[in-house]
Amino acid sequence: MTQLNDFQLLVLEKETIQCSDVAELLGDYTDKELPPTLRARIDSHIHQCEHCQELERSYRLTVELAGQLNTNNPLPRGVQTRLRKALNEKLGLSLPLA
Ligand SMILES: [Zn+2]
């Protein structure tokens, strides 16, 4: 059974969830670590919000790339940096650019 953290509880209690809530929980969402009730709420928000659909796509890409960066076949450095920069701007992350 997944233990809810404070933020997840807070979101669960809200009447309407916001894009910022989705952004905050996207990691757990993608890792399938959210309880079904909360997951369903995020699902339905993403379903009707283009911004969050884009966000989710970018996030999945980040996760995939993070996996690839650990292999012996990393992306060219310039590409990596450009991508990280774009993700930082889009998702409000702070991935190192070097
Ligand atoms: Zn949204």
Instruction: Express each pLDDT in 60-79 by its tens digit.
Output: 888 888 777 666 666 677 77
Q: 98 C-alpha vs ligand 1 centroid, how far in Å?
A: 30
What sign for the dihedral angle of Cα 15, 20, 25, 29?
positive
pLDDT tens-place string over residues 8-28: 989 988 989 999 999 999 988
Q: What pLDDT was estimated at residue 74?
A: 61
Side-chain half-sphere exposure of 60, counting CA atoms within 13 A: 9
Q: 4 C-alpha vs ligand 1 centroid, how far in Å?
A: 21
Q: What is the DSSP letter of 14?
A: -
Q: 21 C-alpha vs ligand 1 centroid, how far in Å?
A: 8
Place of tokens 């059974």: 1
Q: What share of the chain is helix, strand, coil (3-state, %, to 5)?
A: 70, 0, 30
Question: Mean pLDDT over all residues of the chain?
Answer: 84
Strand extents, DSSP E, the chain: none
pTM of the model: 0.64
Q: 45 C-alpha vs ligand 1 centroid, how far in Å?
A: 6
Q: Which of 6-15, 32-41, 49-58, 75-84 has the lowest mean pLDDT?
A: 75-84
